[in-house]
Amino acid sequence: MSKKHNEENQEVIVDVQEVYSKTEHFVENNKKNLSIIVGGIVVVIALYLGYTKMYIAPMEIEAQSSMFMAEKYFEQDSLQKAINGDGLNYGFIDIIDEYSGTKSANIAHYYLGISYLRTGDFEAAIDELKSFSSDDIMISSIALGAIGDAYLELGEIDDAISYYKKAAKNQANNLTSPMYLFKAGIAYEEKGDYQAAFDNYTTIKNDYAESSEGRTIEKYLARAEALK
């Protein structure tokens, strides 16, 4: 048994040595090509860092400054000026066009989507909100829910429900999760699926009883129960 074990160890040692020898031989024969590849990678990294520092960073500062008035108009519900600008200051469309690739352009997609939703341009709202991304729990959930609102306004109930459910499940929390579970429940009722509505309301009752939706959910449960 010991002899067999030793033979196996020797075979492994030989195999390792052979692989090492082949690798060494390959490196020796391809020094020039490997140097070019490594050098190319270094150049690409340097260019990226230079681009980020010299171009993106200053553009980000400029974009934030340029978007100030659009945000102000949004807060004041002057949505046409927020969308298109006022002739002197950029609107969200301009921010997206002029500062593509910046964080400000990304958040402008959100503002623009919500603005379109409020002004009744639901398809444009969906396009803009789908172009937005965020790691923030609240704002990302609200964006998904707003897409659901736009689909509901277009009469596309299944798509609305899909986005309400995405919003509710998006990093579940006590504010947006019950809000969008409730909206999904109402949408289910609208399409006549009272069992699914009942299930959504039950989740709110069981998991989010202290939320504003949870405190009033019993009457919706009773209605769905009676109709299912």
Q: What ranges do the domains of the chain cover? A: 134-228
* φ, ψ (nearest 5 deg) of residue 77: 65, 20
68-100: buried (b, 16+ CB within 10 Å) or exposed (e) per residue? ebbbebbeeeebebbbbbeeeebbbbbbbebbe
d(CA 143, CA 145): 5
In this structure, the number of other CB atoms found within 10 A of the CB of residue 201 comes to: 29
Quickly state the pLDDT bin for 226 (edges 50, 70, 90): very high
Q: What is the pLDDT of residue 6?
A: 45
134-228: CATH topology is: 1.25.40
pLDDT digits (tens, 9 = 90+) for 78-117: 999 999 999 999 999 999 999 998 999 999 999 999 999 9
d(CA 14, CA 32): 29
pLDDT digits (tens, 9 = 90+) for 152-205: 999 999 999 999 999 999 989 999 999 999 999 999 999 999 999 999 999 999
Q: Taking the CA of residue 77 as centre, how many other CA atoms within 13 Å lie in the half-sphere pointing to its CB?
A: 2
User: Is residue 184 within 8 Å of residue 168, measured between CB atoms?
Assistant: yes
